[in-house]
Structure 1
Amino acid sequence: MTETKLNQTVTDLLSTANSLYPGNISVSFGQDQSGYVRHDQAQQVMNDGDLTVQVNDVTAPNYTASHELLHLLLLLQGFPQITFNLTTRDQQLDEQLMAIAMELYDMVSHVLVVGKQRQHDLIDANIEDLYVKGVYATIDPEDPKKTDAMMTLRLLTLTDLLVFFDGELTPELIGRVADDFPQAFPAAQKLYGVITQKAVDTPFAMRRAVVKLFKAFDDQMTAWHLPMLHGTEFVTMQSVLSERQERLEVRQLFDIYHSDMLDKEKHTRAYIGLNKGDQQNAFVLPAPAQKKSDTFFKETYDKTVKELFQEMNLPYTLR
């Protein structure tokens, strides 16, 4: 078997990532060859501060490695991350919600990631064909008369398909997908419209699009009588602030509420800091052990946003 090697474009991306990362980033290859591409074919593995991009499936190694490296570069360049600091008390449910939230977050990231891959000629007709094969390896066509347990996965997969093609599917592909997914494809087109309503070109724009997508996804789940994500509460979305907002008191930018969910680490009552502008979870505070809650609230609200975030060791991005 021939050794898999990165092409020059991907080698350059790796060098750029290494110039921004405090440890060492490397790429390793497995030997699987499925005959399609999907975005779960690589993963990032940390080891003593160093990071390895493991490309498990080498059907299209340069595409898959560059895709993972570009995701990494977004984080290194200050694009907001999501974290999961709450638990529903049901581990299986937590894992399902986290998986859905990550898919929605990644879709918005893919506007930037796939756009860069196209700029660098890392996507051609062959990769597009392999990507469509990956879609059909993930989801089965619908029964047009009913919604089943796979509707959520269909919706996520088809919305990502639209992002991958920048909304410009060939007439043949549109016909095929519309025939196979008569309910999920129109719903995916709606979500794609939410993602692309405004340009996703800055950390602030990316955060705004993810928050809107959480809400639009829940609207669709409600229409299908399927369980909602409740992403505005369950998912902590990293803040993107102006220098003026950094200096504001916490009460001017956030409302702090008690959550029915628990703090994930301490399994105690949790308070959520909701952004006043869009009601998105921006941070989670475990309930204080000693202080009365009214004292705790007053002290927290009196701090500047910068003071609170530094105390919590909470990353944020400046606009």
Structure 2
Amino acid sequence: MANSDVQLQPAVQDLLNQVAKFFPGDVQVQIIGDLKSGYLRHDQVQTMQDGQHLFVQLSDITDPDFLASHELLHILMTLRGFPQVYFPLTTGDDQLDEQLRYVGTDLFDTVAHFVVYAEQRQHGLINKTVEEDVVKGVRQTITPEQGHVDAEMITRLVTVLDAFVFLGDHFDQYRYLFDHDFPIATQAAEQLYQLLTEKPTTSPFAMRRNVVKLFRAFDQQLQRWELPALHLNEFAMVTSVFSKRQLGLQVKQVFKLYYSELRNHATGKRAYVGFTISDDQNSLVMDGPVGEKVSTEHIQALYQKTVQELFDELHIPYLER
């Protein structure tokens, strides 16, 4: 249940109760500060787990219902079997790894927000005031452009794209602000938004498809700006969503396996990475024998297994559709 100092709307309390049904422990919403900034950002709420206790912690009280419901919906998506994003690889450069994880997580969450924001609107938790406060939050997150591409463009693009997803049909009511302060990012974000809305994000499979599509399109935009690509299709691992038939196929029919130059973050060893043939996205990471000759033999042996056998052996989570 919620702490006594948090007065949640019935719709938010209902979401809290839904999370409590799925989570095998105690779930609470906590306010951990009395700051009321007057704007809304995703970093004003976080989830902490301590054993059998799950705490949704609000560090800002501008709109507790919006912030708490947003986080609870993300948790519900995880508990109900939507894909997750993982970062099991390392480039060997801690600062680069951190940037890739940060941007990769934000882009992944942006796709999840098609589900989250729609649910919040359905529950009456997004109104004109919330929209205005989120737009204020955008302007607190990124600085106005100076007429050229600079080091902040990646953050601007991620932030403005999420604003497109949040505002949806209402974006034009605020477009003058975005066009005035962030014209380059807004133009690029709108193209990415149009790409993501070609097919709706309404199922785990559709979410994975749009995440993979966004990772690739985001790199293409960075290259148009002559910025280095992030290669999140390789660096980030996204939960696979298989049909029953795919689980029974041989690994070689579904995946391309490579002995990567990147290393397994947990073990420090060069990693074997499996890319799904249909979308060329990193879907499994594992250790194996070292050396080109033995690695080739190892991959050939893995190719003969069924997809289900390999994933079960490696204890890599996957979803069925």
With the shorter chain as reference, the TM-score category is over 0.9
**Match of residue 118 from structure 2:** 115
Q: Does 1:276 align with 2:244?
A: no
**TM superposition shift of 1:168:** 2.9
**Match of residue 132 from structure 2:** 129
Q: Does 1:21 align with 2:23?
A: yes
2:81 to 59, 62, 78: 78
Q: Does 1:304 align with 2:309?
A: no
2:63 to 56, 60, 65: 60
- Partner Cα separation in structure 2 for residue 285 and residue 69 of structure 1: 32
Q: Is the 8 Å Cα contact of residues 30 and 58 (structure 1) preserved in structure 2?
A: no
Secondary structure, counterpart of 2:32 in structure 1: strand
**TM superposition shift of 1:266:** 0.7
**TM superposition shift of 1:4:** 2.9
- Partner Cα separation in structure 1 for residue 214 and residue 311 of structure 2: 25
- Partner Cα separation in structure 2 for residue 48 and residue 258 of structure 1: 37
Normalising by the residue count of structure 1, what TM-score does the alignment of the two structures yield? 0.96
Secondary structure, counterpart of 1:103 in structure 2: helix
Q: Is the 8 Å Cα contact of residues 86 and 264 (structure 1) preserved in structure 2?
A: yes
Q: Aligned partner of 2:116: which letter?
A: V
Q: Does 1:96 align with 2:74?
A: no
The superposition leaves residues 48-86 of structure 1 with CA deviations (integer Å, 9 ceiling, x where unpaired) of 132211111111101000000000111111110010010
Normalising by the residue count of structure 2, what TM-score does the alignment of the two structures yield? 0.95
Give unpaired runs (5+ residues) of structure 1: none
Using the aligned pairs only, state the percent identity.
44
Q: Aligned partner of 1:305: which letter?
A: V
Moved more, 203-212 or 303-312: 303-312
- Partner Cα separation in structure 1 for residue 17 and residue 262 of structure 2: 42
Figure out how many residues of one structure are paired with residues of the other and give that number: 316
- Partner Cα separation in structure 2 for residue 24 and residue 317 of structure 1: 26
**TM superposition shift of 1:297:** 1.4
**Match of residue 194 from structure 1:** 195
**Match of residue 138 from structure 1:** 141
**Match of residue 254 from structure 2:** 253
- Partner Cα separation in structure 1 for residue 284 and residue 65 of structure 2: 37
**Match of residue 234 from structure 1:** 235
Q: Does 1:203 align with 2:204?
A: yes
Secondary structure, counterpart of 2:274 in structure 1: strand
Flag the 1:167–1:224 CA change in 2: closer, same or farther, 3 A. farther
**TM superposition shift of 1:311:** 1.2
**TM superposition shift of 1:289:** 5.9
Give unpaired runs (5+ residues) of structure 2: none
- Partner Cα separation in structure 1 for residue 166 and residue 10 of structure 2: 23
Flag the 1:167–1:3 CA change in 2: closer, same or farther, 3 A. same
Q: Aligned partner of 1:299: which letter?
A: A
The superposition leaves residues 70-104 of structure 1 with CA deviations (integer Å, 9 ceiling, x where unpaired) of 00111111110010010000011100000000110
Q: Aligned partner of 1:79: which letter?
A: F
The superposition leaves residues 264-308 of structure 1 with CA deviations (integer Å, 9 ceiling, x where unpaired) of 111111111000001000001113369922332122111111111
Secondary structure, counterpart of 2:151 in structure 1: coil
1:39 to 38, 42, 45: 42
Q: Does 1:164 align with 2:166?
A: yes
**TM superposition shift of 1:187:** 0.3
Flag the 1:297–1:170 CA change in 2: closer, same or farther, 3 A. closer
Q: Aligned partner of 1:149: which letter?
A: A
